[in-house]
Amino acid sequence: MKWEENVRRVVPYIPGEQPKERNIIKLNTNENPYPPSPEAQRVLRELTEDGRWPDLRLYPDTDAAPLVRALAEKYDRRPEEIYVGVGSDDVLAMCFLTFFCSRRPVLFPDITYSFYDVWAELYGIPYEQIPLDENFCLRKEDYFRENGGIIFPNPNAPTGVELPVSAIEEIAAANPGSVVIIDEAYVDFGAESALPLIDRYDNLMVVQTFSKSRAMAGMRIGYAMANERLIRCLRDVRRSFNSYTMNLPSILCGAAAVRDDDYFRSICGCISETRERFEEELSGLGFRFCRSRSNFVFARHPDFRGEELYRALRERGILIRWWNKERISDYLRITIGTSRDMREVARALRDIVEHPEAC
Ligand code: PMP
């Protein structure tokens, strides 16, 4: 027998490129263009400068209590209703392992975060990808049927389209027998959170992240909020997997960032305003896109292939995301950077659109 026969083989998720060049306008992974909260930066300095290094000798709190407490205060929940992990990818992977244990298929859209099918494959979970409508909107009725769980981002990724919370409520109400997970990675840029619904639907969970709206992708912090019973299930599975997922600097800096609500609101506000101005520029250049409620836009131009535009921008030092995938191969996903970045992108796109022969 060969060892290959006994080994798990998977097709991994491919994250956006992290180029080494510094002089690139990097708008391909929905990072925040602003620095993390000054409060989080202060805590990190204190941790290294004030002789507190010895704290790192010890294992961190297994439940990341200081961070959970800060989140509980911010969202007016009890700590028992919050779970934290190493980025929302870690939280979502744990959710798949914990809640999607049925023989019935887990449902998610055909165009969505491309990690969902990777986790389903990894854990051997049956799943069905439900087509979005022609405007990339999720039809709630498609989720009113037997299933082993439901997950989708709101706003959706990579489209940026928001589903009204009233539709999420109907989906949760129609599926008391399965867990419904709303991935709110991009909710802070102008969409409405489903969080208030967790008091009414004991099968509903909301997952958020520090990577986008709190400008801390490098710290790797994500969290889930739901009723105490769901959170306990998640914690028990995690404790059967790894006792100490969260490192001490992330716990302490994360707590400081959550308490700095003014900074959080100001950077989210800047990004939403920049997005609106950029959308106007795109319209003027003939691009088509759905209204985005996130920190990116998903746009196509009727006269150009997606790949052409992607390559032409790359040549001009601008990195955005493009997928060679059915239904979306003519679309570009452009993260919203600073207003200066977006002026550069608009200038480059104008140049490309007005000189198609150079493409
Ligand atoms: N959900 C969605 C929809 C995302 O786009 C991302 C970012 N790739 C994540 C979750 C994971 O983000 P993180 O692990 O950085 O919290």
Let me know whether 136 and 209 are in one domain.
yes
With vertex at residue 154, the alpha carbon angle to CA 92 and CA 240, rounded to the nearest 5 degrees, is 10
Query: Which residue from 97, 99, 98, 93 is spatially nearest to 113, judged by alpha carbons?
Result: 93
Give the residue from 206, 235, 259 where a domain finishes: 259
Mean pLDDT of 145-149: 97
E strands, 124-283, are: 127-130, 150-153, 180-183, 204-209, 222-225
Beta bridge partner(s), residue 208: 223
Find the 90 Cα to ligand 1 centroid distance in Å.
9
Give the residue from 232, 259, 286 where a domain finishes: 259
> CA–CA separation, 118 vs 101, rounded Å?
16
- pLDDT (tens digit per residue) in 13-53: 999 889 888 889 999 999 999 999 999 999 999 888 766 66
Mean pLDDT of 131-155: 98
Q: Kindly tell me if the per-residue pLDDT of 331 is higher than 70.
A: yes
Mean pLDDT of 61-80: 97
* 118 within ligand 1 shell (Cβ under 6 A): no
Report the percentage of the chain scoring pLDDT > 90.
92
Mutate to test the pocket of ligand 1, among 17, 159, 209 (most ligand atoms within 8 A of CB): 209
Let me know whether 283 and 244 are in one domain.
no
The single residue listed with the structure tokens 């981002």 is 153
Residue 5 lies in a domain: no
The DSSP 8-state label assigned to residue 144 in this structure reads S
Query: Which residue from 14, 8, 43 is spatially nearest to 29, judged by alpha carbons?
Result: 14
Residue 4 lies in a domain: no
Atom index in ligand 1 nearest the CA of residue 113 equals: 3
Q: Which residues contact 4 (CB under 8 A, 6 or more apart)?
A: none
> CA–CA separation, 142 vs 128, rounded Å?
11
Let me know whether 167 and 221 are in one domain.
yes
Mutate to test the pocket of ligand 1, among 29, 113, 184 (most ligand atoms within 8 A of CB): 113
CATH of the domain at 198: 3.40.640.10
Of the chain, the end-to-end C-alpha distance in Å amounts to: 53
Residue 69 lies in a domain: yes
Question: pLDDT category, 114, cuts 50, 70, 90?
Answer: very high
> CA–CA separation, 168 vs 85, rounded Å?
24
Q: Kindly tell me if the per-residue pLDDT of 54 is higher than 70.
A: no
* 88 within ligand 1 shell (Cβ under 6 A): yes
Query: Which residue from 355, 283, 298 is spatially nearest to 329, judged by alpha carbons?
Result: 298
Find the 358 Cα to ligand 1 centroid distance in Å.
35
pLDDT, the chain, mean: 96
Let me know whether 159 and 216 are in one domain.
yes
Find the 303 Cα to ligand 1 centroid distance in Å.
31
Residue 45 lies in a domain: yes
Distances in Å between the alpha carbon of 26 and those of 160, 285, 298, 305, 333? 19, 21, 16, 21, 12
Let me know whether 250 and 317 are in one domain.
no
Residue 214 domain boundaries: 38-259
Residue 9 lies in a domain: no
Is residue 79 left, alpha or beta, with left meaning phi > 0 and alpha meaning psi from -120 to 50?
Answer: alpha
Q: If you take atom 2 of ligand 1, which residue's CA is the nearest one?
A: 185
Cβ-contact 332, 307 below 8 angstroms = no
Mean pLDDT of 218-224: 98
* 209 within ligand 1 shell (Cβ under 6 A): yes
Let me know whether 84 and 161 are in one domain.
yes
The single residue listed with the structure tokens 């088509």 is 288
Let me know whether 244 and 299 are in one domain.
no
Give the residue from 234, 259, 284 where a domain finishes: 259
pTM over 0.85: yes
Residue 128 lies in a domain: yes
Let me know whether 173 and 52 are in one domain.
yes
Let me know whether 250 and 131 are in one domain.
yes
Beta bridge partner(s), residue 25: 318
* 341 within ligand 1 shell (Cβ under 6 A): no
- pLDDT (tens digit per residue) in 125-137: 999 999 999 999 9
Mutate to test the pocket of ligand 1, among 29, 211, 220, 333 (most ligand atoms within 8 A of CB): 211
Let me know whether 241 and 276 are in one domain.
no
Let me know whether 99 and 210 are in one domain.
yes
DSSP string, 26-41: E-SS---SSPPPHHHH
> CA–CA separation, 271 vs 20, rounded Å?
25
Query: Which residue from 256, 246, 262 is spatially nearest to 40, judged by alpha carbons?
Result: 256
CATH of the domain at 286: 3.90.1150.10
Q: How many domains would you assign to the chain?
A: 2
Let me know whether 269 and 187 are in one domain.
no
Distance of CA 281 to the CA centre of its chain: 25
Residue 10 lies in a domain: no
Q: Kindly tell me if the per-residue pLDDT of 310 is higher than 80.
A: yes
* 335 within ligand 1 shell (Cβ under 6 A): no
Residue 235 lies in a domain: yes
